[in-house]
Each structure stands twice: as structure tokens, then as C-alpha cells.
Amino acid sequence: MAIRNWDDFDGFDEEGRPLKFPRHTAQVRLDTINSLAAQNRSLHREIDALYTALQKAYDTIAALRRSQALDMFGSDGDDSEDDEPWFIETFSESEDSGENTIIDLTYESE
């Protein structure tokens, strides 16, 4: 079926409407609008659910990163109790003696 142009059309024929879509009844138009609105609402709910799940996933990732950092480096509260750097370990030579020995791991031995 070929599209007709105004040049091909001899006179004004209201029934033919060569360049327009057929006009539907008001009920068909209303049903179409309601159907589109229902689809739009369901898509909106689905997008909201997906967005909520995405936010929960981001929150979970952030919590896992924080817990992994705490496992690797400890918390700031642990550091405030000890003024020595992490590479200097303090321990007692023996259980009997109360003397503490400091080992500096940055010292290069010969």
C-alpha cells in the first residue's frame, strides 16, 4: 500500500483521510490511555524496587569494605592506646621478667 500525497488527491475527501490515521472512538482512546498509565505505574514500581536493591547492594559493599579495612589495619581506637609505630613490636623476653624489649624491625642487621 503506497502513501498518497496531496498531489495525488483530486479533491477533499473527508472519508478517505489520506494523510491521517483513522480516528478512533473516545472509548478506545480512553482504554489506550488507561493501559499506558497502568504500564507506566508498574514500570515505576519495578524501577523503585530495583533502585532500592541497588542502594542496599551499595550499602553492603561499603560495609564489607569497612570491615575488611578494620580486619587489615585495625581501628583508630587500637592505635590511640599504643603510641609506638606498627613496625615496632613490644613483648617480654620471658614470662618471669617484667622487662619489656623493643624490637625495631626497620633496623638492618649485618
Kindly give the confidence (pLDDT) of every residue in the chain, 110 residues in length, as a single tens digit, with 9 standing for 90 and above: 455 555 555 555 555 556 666 677 888 888 988 999 999 999 999 999 999 999 999 999 999 988 887 777 766 555 555 566 666 666 555 554 555 556 666 656 55
Question: 60-86, pLDDT tens digit by residue?
Answer: 999 998 888 777 776 655 555 556 666
Contact 88, 103 (CB under 8 A): yes
List the one residue out of 86, 82, 78 whose CA is nearest residue 104: 86
Reduced to 3 states, what is the DSSP secondary structure of residue 77? Answer: helix
Q: Report d(CA 93, CA 100) in Å as an integer.
A: 7
Q: What is the pTM of this model?
A: 0.40
Taking Cα atoms as reference points, which of 35, 105, 76, 17 lies closest to residue 9?
A: 17
